[in-house]
């Protein structure tokens, strides 16, 4: 069995991301997703938002997002009709 090493649609190579740009804090994640910081904060509590990483303690730890996850999350929300039910 061979492994396909070609870049995927959300790979750092196709998004032209350096390691420094791949992980972002909430303000930058808000700009990428076009959601407000407050909405992303709320989605972290209620669920349904993009995956995030908490560095440090539960309450005061820094929250960062992997930009690949942000783009994948946005792709998963694509619809062709307003009557479609979210998966």
d(CA 46, CA 42): 6
d(CA 45, CA 57): 15
| pLDDT tens sequence across 52-62 | 999 988 778 89
Domains detected in the chain: 17-76 (1.10.10)
Helix/strand/coil for 19: helix
- pLDDT value for 37: 97
d(CA 72, CA 54): 19
Q: Is 48 left (phi over 0), alpha (psi -120 to 50) or beta?
A: left
What token pair was written down for 21?
């740009």
pLDDT mean over 16-37: 90
| pLDDT tens sequence across 29-84 | 999 999 999 999 999 999 999 999 999 887 788 999 999 999 999 999 998 998 87
């Amino acid at each position: 069995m061979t492994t396909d090493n070609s870049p995927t649609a959300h790979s750092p190579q196709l998004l032209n991301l350096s390691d420094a740009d791949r992980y972002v804090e909430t303000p930058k994640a808000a700009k990428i997703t076009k959601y407000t910081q407050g909405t992303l904060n709320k989605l972290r509590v209620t669920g349904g938002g993009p995956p995030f990483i908490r560095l440090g303690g539960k309450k005061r730890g820094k929250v960062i997002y992997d930009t690949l996850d942000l783009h994948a999350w946005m792709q998963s929300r694509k619809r062709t009709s307003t009557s479609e039910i979210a998966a």
